[in-house]
Every structure is written in C-alpha cells, then in structure tokens.
Amino acid sequence: MYANNSQNSPAWSKLLILLLLILGAAIALLPLGIILLTSLAPPGSSTSTAMTGQSLTWANYGEAWTRGKFLLAFANSTLVALAVTALQIFTSALAGYALARLKFRGREVVLLLIVATLVIPFQLLVIPIFIVLKWGHLINTYWALILPTAANGFGIFLMRQYFTTVPIELEEAAALDGANRWQILTQIMLPLSRPALVTLFLFTFIGEWNDLFKPLVFTTRPELRTVQLALAEFQEQFTNSWPLLMAAVVIATIPVVILFLIGQRQFIQGIGTTGIKN
C-alpha cells in the first residue's frame, strides 16, 4: 500500500500543478477577454452589454482604424522599432563579445558600469539627450526616435552572458583555420546565439513599439506619430466610447502579440540559457 501511495503521489502533484497553471492563465487572460468582448460590442453600448455576447460586431475595428489614422502610425512605429532593434543587436553583439572573450584591463569595471546603467530611468536623461538632439538639428526627425536607444545595457549584458556559454574551443579551432575576430563573431558566435538574438529582438522591438515617451518629447510633427501616440490621442477623442477605444487598443496590441507567439520558443531558451554562467 505504501508503494502504491508513493506511485500515485507524483501523478497528483502534476495534476495540482496543472490546475494551478490553468487557474493562473485564466486570471491573466480574463482582462484580455474583457477588452476583446468590449471591442466587439455595438457602438454606444456598455461593458456589461458586451459580456452577454449578444449583437457583437467587427465594425468598431474599421472605424477605429480610420479615425485613429493608424496606417501612418503603424508605418512609423515599424520603421523606428526595426531601426532601433537592428542597432541594438549590432552594438550589443560587438560589446558583448568584447566583454566575454577579449582580455583587457578594467573589463570587469566596464561590465559593472554597463549593468549599473540599467537602474537609471530614461526620463532622468531626457534633458541632456534633448539638448544633444537639438544641437544636432535632429528634433522632429526619425533620428530623434532612434538614436537615444541605439545601445542598451541590457542587450550588452544579455549577449555577453550568452557568449560565455559557447565553448571557447570552437573559436580556437576557427582561429587555427585562419579566421579573424570578425569572422569568428559573424560566422560562429552569432549563428550559435540565435536564442539570445531572438530574445533581444523581442525585448527591443516590443519596448520601442510600446514607447510613448520619446515620440511625446522629441517630436511634434503629425507625420511622425507612432502607434502609442496615436492611441493616446484617440483616447482623448473617444473617452466615452468604450467599444471604439478597446478596438483601438486591440489594433495596437496585435503586432507585438503575433511577434511574441512566433518567437516564444527561442525567447524562453534565450532567457534560460543566459543565466547559466557568469
């Protein structure tokens, strides 16, 4: 009997964990479900009406897309997010590889200073950044939205951590075959670091897509409106129309959700691997 109890115990524990995970997922998805149902409610109806599931319509999405002028905002946000992501991957890969493999005096101090930048809010740096951008005549340009976050301490630390998990014997073998540092980085290290690159891509792209602060401070031209700025303006105009407002929120959220679903496996692997070795 004791043996049977010990054999059944893992099964019960797994079932309990599964139920807890389902409950946690339901709690996390409940607000999203409410937002989606509200966005499908007829114009002028209340949230409670949407909960009944009656007379749902997709018309709110077309109206929100047109009134919010999201086409230009999507184009601007995509351009800025992709540019910042590309620059961060480039700078993080170079700096991360140098900190992981190159031996130079003060390497640990440099790494410590880079990590220390993670605790400094971007808002504290906005005045000097604004002055530099104004001096360079970059205010009200795409560069004002791209250059301030072209490099990031988190990305450098992430790539450094992942590079340290790659066996150094691979680099030594490539060096014996005549490969230089640049060839080792681009042809060996980066292909092996795909999970970390996908993780950095997702973090950076989603962060830039959801950023409202930079467009609000560094731009005033309507043609430079990003998705979050368009959503904020839309909220001011349609505060009393919850179905339209929730439809606009769903529109602004769909791209990052799709992007995360595509790269979630590499994202989880990248997060898990970068903490293995210091």
Whether the Cβ atoms of residue 158 and residue 92 lie closer than 8 Å to each other: yes
Distances (CA, A) of 21 to 18, 25, 27, 63: 5, 6, 10, 37
What sign has the CA pseudo-torsion 8, 11, 16, 17?
A: positive
CATH topology of domain 65-273: MetI-like fold (1.10.3720)
Report the candidate in 61, 7, 72 with the shortest Cα–Cα distance to residue 35.
61
One-letter identity of residue 114: I
Domain residue ranges in the chain:
2-59, 65-273
pLDDT in tens, 187-202: 999 998 888 898 899 9
Whether the Cβ atoms of residue 199 and residue 270 lie closer than 8 Å to each other: yes
Distance, C-alpha 12 to centroid of its chain? 37
3-state secondary structure of 34: helix
Q: What is the pLDDT of residue 59?
A: 84
pLDDT in tens, 12-70: 888 888 899 999 988 988 888 888 888 888 776 655 555 555 677 788 888 889 888 89
Q: What percent of the chain has pLDDT over 90?
A: 43
pLDDT in tens, 123-154: 899 999 999 999 999 999 999 999 999 999 99
Q: Which residues contact 146 (CB under 8 A, 6 or more apart)?
A: 80, 83, 84, 87
Max CA distance (Å), the chain:
80
Residue 43 CB neighbours (<10 A): 13
Whether the Cβ atoms of residue 134 and residue 96 lie closer than 8 Å to each other: no
